[in-house]
Structure 1
Amino acid sequence: MQPLPPALTITPPNRPLSGRVSPPGSKSITNRVLLLAALANGTSRLTGALKSKDTTLMARALREMGVTVEEPDATTFLVTSDGKLRTPAAPLFLGNAGTATRFLTAAVATLDGTVIVDGDDEMRLRPIGPLVDALNALGISAEAPSGCPPVTIYGTGRFGKGRVEIDASLSSQYVSALLMAAPFGDGPIEVALAGKDIGARGYVDLTLAAMRAFGADVTEAGDGAWLVQSTGYHATDFHVEPDASAATYLWGIEALTGGTIDLGVAADAFTQPDAAAQAVIASYPNMPAVIDGSQMQDAVPTLAVVAAFNNMPVRFVGIANLRVKETDRIRAVANELNRIRPGLATEEGDDLLVASDPALAGQNLPARIETYHDHRIAMSFALAGLKIAGITILDPACTGKTYPQYWDMLEGLGVKLTPSN
């Protein structure tokens, strides 16, 4: 793959875009099963997996802890482990990969040694305090003085037992991290929500399904609580389904251009929560006046860009957690919609109001879209370039975090992309 230029200008195709596109494997599931395979005794073959910046960082960290991770082809990981992680020689650097950072913060507590989990400047602004507090409650010494990475975990090879409560209002990843490490407890561990608020609950269901596939015994222990037995994991072969968050861009292309794209998988076959966005996108150009994005958070930038061309204004609610993603996505989406046309978006508290205008389509509105090193901002705003002339995406290479072939996909559908500085 050729290096991407500093910017890409999109030429509206002015025709329906149709074809067959296979979305990449799910990032969320790939990083879960990479970790579970590393914690399992034996060799696991993970097929259909995503090879991207985030999953590469996870695989590298596992290798640094003594796990053998081979890559026999473009969508397969072969993971061999004795079920134990070793103390790495240096801090684990995980860039801005939230899943890898949160999951490994809990997992390294199972080894006997001190581990530092760190990331890039953006990751160092993303909260991790609730997970650190939960580890301390289990008797595991861990500290993150800023409330964000870097985190230092002083592992003793023991993961505690009993009941632990965790505040998951900022991220469901804290819950998933604890759950995946819990089979290494000294006895059963009950993971319970402190309060009922949780970022995208569907991702916890993904975690539970993956854990059970690798042999975990985990059961519901009431509303917002799970009981995990100390079984460890066993190696297994696992096929990763396509990424529903990536699919939202394809559904958006269909809606905005009137085309038909065959993903090779039906929307109702996905187990990831972002698949719920398909029905909302399919309602375009009459999307609902109010959209609750709480359970499909990564789809909100896509939905907001599509909503810019809707027949009526759209208010996005339940999206406060978007402020602590790779960037403040509420602000970023509002800023860039307003760059296209002032007043197109408004932040009202933690709501986002998009002042939809179908007349935007067909206009020439030159705008250089700042992407904030955030793959989802780049990919979602590329959709605006299908309807409006003059849209330029800065730092297009940031899509490599989860969808390295994104721009190739657009060109494959017949979209003209012009490199620029």
Structure 2
Amino acid sequence: MELKVEKASKIKGVVKAPPSKSYTHRALLVACLAEGESCLRDPLYSADTLATLEACQAMGCEIEIQDDLCTVTGTGGDLKTPQNVLDLKNSGTTLRFLTTMASLAPGCTVLTGDDSLRGRPMQDLLNSLKTLGVKAYSTQENGLPPMVIKNGFYGGKTQIKGDVSSQYISSILLSAPYAQNSVDLSVVGEFKSKPYVEMTLDIMEKFGVHCQQDPGNKFHLDKQTYNARDYTIEGDYSSASYLLSAAAILDGEVTVQNLFSESKQGDKIILDILQEMGARIIIKEDQVTVKGTLSSSDKPLSNNESLTSDKILSNAESLSSDKLSSNAKLSSSDDQTKTTKSTCDLNGINVNLENSPDLLPTVAALAAVAQGTSHITGVEHARFKETDRVHTMALELTKLGVDVTEEQDGLIIKGGAHGGVVKSHDDHRLVMALTLVGLLTGGVHIKGAAAHRVSFPNFPQVMEGLGCPIKII
């Protein structure tokens, strides 16, 4: 599947945010472990979450889907051994969460996936699980899937690095209540993407499990059981970021419903970022509206002041010439630079996305069409996603004439882009981010666009409904 994106005029509309992928994964797993029947309302049915759903079924959980209602009859922690190897497709979340959970099933469980998934580093998690009595190993002894997990989760004390993937931490926490003994987990080093762990603790608490969190990023979990319940999945700020950003880029007006102001999602910082870049944001309890950009005489709306994040750096901070020259620079070809580049009314930004690495593609796309230079930092761990997102975003934006400097932990982007042919690298977030650039420049042809189904299955249709000229070819 390919997408052809043409230049759009102002867009307008009211849409419902896709359900949160992160919360759907977590809700399915805790409902699977709970005893009794849970009703999950408005879950996300996408390639990734269906991988989790099917894995839960393979381990003895009964699941019935009826439109926007997913009824899960839990196992009470009494999991079954899968009859076959579990193919988790391209879902890294499923892989990491199931690695610990599979230790609760009798016998051996084998986890694998597609080419991309088999390149995901897992050794840190395997090392931590070993000290908890879990016998899990990589079949090729290289820390990569396929992996074999044997029955047995003794418990005890372990530690894990926090700078590679917060999903390692969530994996242990989600299954720890069913270990034979209490579990003490210490996060060592820099703790990146911490809001995702807070989301994990939030849903665990809502299903009746309490985790004691001590200063110094230490977690203690006693033996407990999840309680089945009705649970509604909130909207996904990551997926909504493309809709809100489109309105800001095109000076349109888009309201996205099912986005809650009290959400624990770290990607809620997109509201700060858009406002800092000059977008007009209106926030209500359960929805967000972007109404184009602010004029120079306007001030930020008072009801958004509470969302200011200390992760956003002052735009007045300069980028030293030494720093620019010390990094490998990706520049467009001579032919491309002769093409007229487009920018919108947004301003460049300096931002640390350490706790929101999934926003890297969105913010990079915004920076590509903004005025001035943007500096995105803190995203070295985004190199271990579906693709090396730092590199692939730099590579594909360069094809659109954008001046990009790739750093180890981020990107420096000078605004100005034109049309061109780009690749998704089978990464859903690249598909949607590159679409944003095309809405301003026109003439953007995205290959491998079917990847959007991983998190936002009806993305092209929703964008078309807002007035975006997107054609599936």
| In the alignment, structure 1 residue 192 sits paired with structure 2 residue 252 | no
Percent identity between matched residues is 31
| In the alignment, structure 1 residue 228 sits paired with structure 2 residue 221 | yes
Q: Relative contact order: is structure 1 or structure 2 higher (C-alpha 8 Å, sep ≥ 6)?
A: 1
Q: Which residue of 2 aligns with 1:405?
A: 458
How far did residue 162 of structure 1 move?
Answer: 2.2
Choose from 248, 255, 266 the match for 1:262.
Answer: 255
Structure 2: distance between partners of 1:286 and 1:227: 45
Structure 2: distance between partners of 1:184 and 1:19: 46
1:216-241 per-residue CA deviation (whole Å, 9 max, x = no partner) reads 12111222111111012121111110
Structure 2: distance between partners of 1:128 and 1:107: 15
Q: Which residue of 2 aligns with 1:293?
A: 353
How far did residue 35 of structure 1 move?
Answer: 0.4
How far did residue 265 of structure 1 move?
Answer: 4.0
Alignment of 1:298-313 (within 5 A): 298-313=358-373
Alignment of 1:125-136 (within 5 A): 125-136=119-130
| In the alignment, structure 1 residue 337 sits paired with structure 2 residue 337 | no
SS at match of 1:268: coil
Q: Which residue of 2 aligns with 1:148?
A: 144
SS at match of 1:234: coil
How far did residue 286 of structure 1 move?
Answer: 5.2
Is 2:377–2:411's contact at 8 Å kept on the other side of the alignment? yes
Q: Which residue of 1 aligns with 2:202?
A: 209
| In the alignment, structure 1 residue 11 sits paired with structure 2 residue 6 | yes
Q: Which residue of 2 aligns with 1:117?
A: 111
How far did residue 317 of structure 1 move?
Answer: 0.8
Alignment of 1:62-211 (within 5 A): 62-73=56-67, 75-83=68-76, 84-144=78-138, 145-156=141-152, 159-195=153-189, 197-211=190-204
SS at match of 1:382: helix
Kindly report structure 1 stretches of 4+ aligned residues shifted beyond 6 Å. Answer: none
Structure 1: distance between partners of 2:261 and 2:367: 22
Q: Cα 1:33–1:267, aligned 2, differ >3 Å: closer, same or farther?
A: closer
Q: Cα 1:121–1:40, aligned 2, differ >3 Å: closer, same or farther?
A: same
How far did residue 400 of structure 1 move?
Answer: 0.4
Choose from 403, 408, 419 the match for 1:349.
Answer: 408
SS at match of 2:443: strand
Structure 1: distance between partners of 2:468 and 2:12: 11
Is 1:267–1:278's contact at 8 Å kept on the other side of the alignment? no
| In the alignment, structure 1 residue 370 sits paired with structure 2 residue 370 | no
Structure 1: distance between partners of 2:347 and 2:408: 22
Question: Structure 1: any 5+ residue segments left out of the alignment?
Answer: 1-5
1:233-292 per-residue CA deviation (whole Å, 9 max, x = no partner) reads 121111110011001101111110111211124563332111111210223255564210
1:275-313 per-residue CA deviation (whole Å, 9 max, x = no partner) reads 111210223255564210111111111011111122221
Alignment of 1:49-68 (within 5 A): 49-68=43-62
Is 2:276–2:349's contact at 8 Å kept on the other side of the alignment? no
Relative to the length of structure 1, the TM-score reads 0.93
Structure 1: distance between partners of 2:132 and 2:376: 37
1:164-212 per-residue CA deviation (whole Å, 9 max, x = no partner) reads 11122110000000001100122221111122x1230000000001111
Q: Which residue of 2 aligns with 1:3?
A: none
1:338-388 per-residue CA deviation (whole Å, 9 max, x = no partner) reads 0001x521112332111123xx4xxxx441110000000000110011100
How far did residue 79 of structure 1 move?
Answer: 0.4
Q: Which residue of 1 aligns with 2:447?
A: 394
SS at match of 1:173: helix
Is 1:280–1:287's contact at 8 Å kept on the other side of the alignment? no
How far did residue 407 of structure 1 move?
Answer: 0.2
How far did residue 76 of structure 1 move?
Answer: 2.2
Structure 1: distance between partners of 2:420 and 2:348: 27
Q: Which amino acid aligns with 1:297?
A: P
How far did residue 163 of structure 1 move?
Answer: 1.6
SS at match of 2:383: helix
Q: Cα 1:265–1:63, aligned 2, differ >3 Å: closer, same or farther?
A: closer
Q: Which residue of 2 aligns with 1:324?
A: 384
Structure 2: distance between partners of 1:180 and 1:118: 20
Is 1:128–1:149's contact at 8 Å kept on the other side of the alignment? yes
